[in-house]
Structure 1
Amino acid sequence: MKTILGHHHISMLTKNAQENNKFYTQVLGMRRVKVTVNQDDPSMYHLFYGDKNGSVGTELSFFEMPMAGQTHRGTNAITRIGLLVPSTESLSFWKERFDSFGVNSGPVTEYAGRHALMFEDNDGLGLALQVADAKMAERFDSWEDSVIPEEHQIISIGTVEMTVRRMDKLESSLTEMFDYVKVSGDESVRLYRPAGSEFEGEILTKFKDDKREQPGRGSVHHLAVNVKNDEELAYWHEKVMEKGFRSTGIIDRHFFKSLYFRESNGIMFEIATDGPGLVGTTAGIEAGEKLDLPPYMEVDRAEIEAKLSPLDMLGKKDK
């Protein structure tokens, strides 16, 4: 049976790549695993952060848009991203760290059934640290060079929150097309997981009757969900088309293959394959150390690099 395995990555907009790089590596201690460009607009950085090996399900990606204005919050948008940490003790560690860095955060609370700490990044993106189940931590590839102790490092993407006007339409896409299971909820808040998953790939939906969110810095562009290989991607492409959605068709991104579509509320999903992956796919390029381009873009490397501001290497602990 072909199944959605969970989250692959999630992509956001940032106004300043250097400040974004500083926050996610120096404050959050994540590894910058890929520095590339938007393949549809190579004047724009595309940065990926994750665990040591850029494992599927750990990857946060950002498109730099220097002209991005303020996000006008509303509905029909991805409105918060959970990040899993190992323990409740980790939340105390992170609360103290956020206070020391002046990060906007709240008290320890509960979110999607887990102990959590809400906070925002430097662009105002809504995030939440959530306590992981023990099995989740076993799959995590800790990074020995992180500024964060291993026992408190971010493990992976947790619950992804979607706020929409038409809850039933989104539920239909998740359960009838993707075969997600609704594990809890009512008319206004519902929690889903991929079939067969005990904890991975959670999506929390919330009802909000409001104006559509106007994206800007700190907004979420799309959620990518994970499938095993090219054959399964082709299968899901047919499912998307049968459901009546308009698909981009399958695109080779070099690091993985994927397709994009918008569900009935306008939220964009990407369906992406496991590999080849973000780390070790380009000979001679250490993860996140220099600009990594797909082969077809190499001929334009000098021109592309000339339009990008250099990024500092941040986040590694002193040795």
Structure 2
Amino acid sequence: MGASIMNTKLLGLHHITAITSSSPKMFRFMTEILGLHLIKKTVNQDDVRTYHLYFTDDMGSAGTDITFFDFPGLFQGTKGKNGISRIGFRVPSDDALDFWAERFHDNDIEHDEIQTNFGSRTMNFYDFDHEQYQLISDERNHGVEAGTPYLYSPIPKMFAISGLGTTIITVDYPERMDIVLTELMGFDKIATEDQRTLYELNEGGHGAQVIIEESRVLPNEIQAYGTVHHIAFRTEDEESLAYWIERIQSAGLSDSGFVDRFYFKSEYFRPGEGVLFEIATDGPGFLQDETYEEAGIHLELPPFLEDQRADIEAHLVNFNSDKKM
């Protein structure tokens, strides 16, 4: 048999990492309100006195991860231009949005009216840090498959969040961003509504979309808690990641080079001011160092940080994250 052909296409959204004022409060919000699975309780490998919490679908599938840092002593961030301004989550249907509107009302979660954007029904909502999110209905969706809702979620499966969805990035350099997305990363430009343009990768659909919103007048985002740190896109494996590292470096963009995060491998780069992109491999995944039953309960450290465990644990706010039933 001949050698297999490397798939160099980016596959869709991988994860989004935001900053929170409180890991214990975010754990409760993400698991008890949104019904996601804390599949990994670890630390920021670049700042080990900071938690890094990974909330996902049932098995931690790439494309379903929202993750959080909790840098100590940080202030409230300010949304603005040149930042990732609204995080998207997928839900199965338009009826699911009605369910969530009622759930948010009953739990005093700030949210807006259901609306239509680029042909899909959406609803904006906000957490205790005033981070900005949207739910997007998959009723008329195509393309990248959704994840599997968490087995122990308090949300009925027919309404549950199933992964990351269309996410909004606000910039004052839409022309430059268009070149990076289409000519470098392989996005297709799908449609424009007002000052927003929809782009999608590969198979397309909500699991592979970003919206670029143009603003020349907003102040620059001030990144701190309540804002997004970076957005990551999926690549198949380490071999295809090497292709992307070479491609990004050849384009002359500011980048990190190869980074081994143990649970996946990465390359970080900036498409322009303020915004941080990452390309991350689908594997090896979150369950290589603990079982499904234990996932998210205990602080897990990659092998290269294990000898620092005592010092790391001494500087973290301990909280009970045992949600298995």
TM-score, length-normalised on structure 1?
A: 0.94
1:190 alignment partner, one of 173, 192, 197: 197
Show the counterpart of 1:292. Answer: 300
1:79-109 deviations in Å (ceiling 9; x for gaps) = 0011110111111111111111110001111
Which residue among 213, 234, 243 is the counterpart of 2:221?
213
Q: Structure 1 residue 263: deviation in Å?
A: 1.0
Equivalent in 278, 282, 301 of residue 270 of structure 1: 278
Aligned length: 316
CA distance in 1, matches of 2:290, 2:23: 25
Instruction: Work out the CA distance in 2 between the residues paired with 1:173 and 1:123.
Output: 31
Any conservation in 2 of the 1:111–1:130 contact (CA below 8 Å)?
A: no
**Aligned residue identity for 1:128:** Q
1:115 to 118, 121, 143: 121
Instruction: Give the corresponding residue for 1:105.
Output: 111
C-alpha offsets along residues 224-276 of structure 1, whole Å, 9 cap, x if unaligned? Answer: 10100111101001111111102111011100000111112331001101111
Offset at residue 136 of structure 1 (A): 6.8
> Which deviates further from its counterpart, 294-303 or 178-187?
178-187
Match of 1:243 among 248, 251, 257: 251
Write the letter of the residue equivalent to 1:225: F
Q: Which of 279, 301, 312 is residue 309 of structure 2 equivalent to?
A: 301
Contact 1:30/1:315, CA 8 A, preserved across alignment:
no
Provide the C-alpha distance between the structure 1 equivalents of 2:13 and 2:207, rounded to a whole number of angstroms.
7
SS in 1 for 2:102: helix
The answer to whether structure 1 residue 166 and structure 2 residue 173 are counterparts is yes
- Look up the match of 2:4: none
Match of 1:42 in 2: 48
Cα distance, 1:243–1:122 mapped onto 2, change above 3 Å: same
Residue by residue over 1:141-166, the C-alpha shift from the partner in whole angstroms, topping out at 9 and shown as x without a partner, is: 22221111111110111011010001
User: Which range is displaced more, 91-100 or 112-121?
Assistant: 112-121
| Identity rate, percent | 35
Task: State which drifts further: 80-89 or 134-143.
Answer: 134-143
Distance 1:78 1:156, change over 3 A: same
Give the conservation status (yes or no) of the 8 Å contact 1:182–1:190. yes
How far off is 1:300 after superposition?
1.3
Instruction: Give the letter aligned to residue 46 of structure 2.
Output: D
Tell me, yes or no, if the aligned pair for 2:144 and 2:204 is still in contact at 8 Å: no
Q: Which residues of structure 1 form unaligned runs of 5+?
A: none
Q: CA deviation at 1:120?
A: 0.3
Partner of 2:261: 253
Q: Deviations over 1:121-149 (max 9, x none)?
A: 11111101110146679642222211111
Amino acid in the other structure paired with 1:245 = L
Aligned residue in 1 for 2:160:
153
Task: Tell me how far apart the structure 2 counterparts of residues 100 and 226 of structure 1 sit (CA, whole Å).
Answer: 36
Pair 204,169 (structure 1): closer, same or farther in 2 beyond 3 Å: same
- Provide the C-alpha distance between the structure 1 equivalents of 2:211 and 2:288, rounded to a whole number of angstroms: 33
Q: C-alpha separation between the residues in 1 aligned to 2:245 and 2:221?
A: 27
Segments of structure 2 that go 5 or more residues without pairing to the other structure are 1-6
Using a 3 Å threshold, how does the CA distance of structure 1 residues 5 and 254 change in structure 2: closer, same or farther?
Answer: same
The 2-side partners of 1:149 and 1:283 are apart by: 27
Q: Is the 8 A contact 2:202 2:208 kept in 1?
A: no
Q: Cα offset for 1:204?
A: 0.1
Q: Secondary structure at the match of 1:303?
A: helix
Q: Tell me the distance in 1 between the aligned counterparts of 2:72 and 2:119.
A: 37
SS at match of 1:106: coil
CA drift of 1:195 comes to 3.1
Letter in 1 for 2:210: I
Asked if the contact 1:22–1:315 (Cα under 8 Å) also holds between the matched residues in 2, the reply is no
Q: Give the C-alpha shift of residue 315 in structure 1.
A: 5.5
Deviation, 1:283, is 4.2
**Native 8 Å contact 1:174 1:180 kept in 2:** yes
Give the root-mean-square deviation of aligned CA atoms. Answer: 1.8
3-state DSSP of counterpart to 1:240: helix
Look up the SS of the partner of 2:178 in the other structure. Answer: helix
TM-score where L is the length of structure 2? 0.93
Q: Deviation per CA, 1:167-191, whole angstroms, max 9, x where unpaired? A: 0100100000001000001672100
Q: How does 1:53-64 map to 2 (within 5 A)?
A: 53-64=59-70
User: How far apart are the structure 2 equivalents of 1:225 and 1:105?
Assistant: 27
Query: How many Å separate the matches in 2 of 1:17 and 1:160?
Result: 23
Letter of the 1:301 partner, please give it. R
- Contact kept in structure 2, 1:170 and 1:265, CA below 8 Å: no
Instruction: Give secondary structure in 2 for the equivalent of 1:105.
Output: coil
Kindly state the Cα deviation for residue 211 of structure 1 after the two structures are TM-superposed.
Answer: 2.3
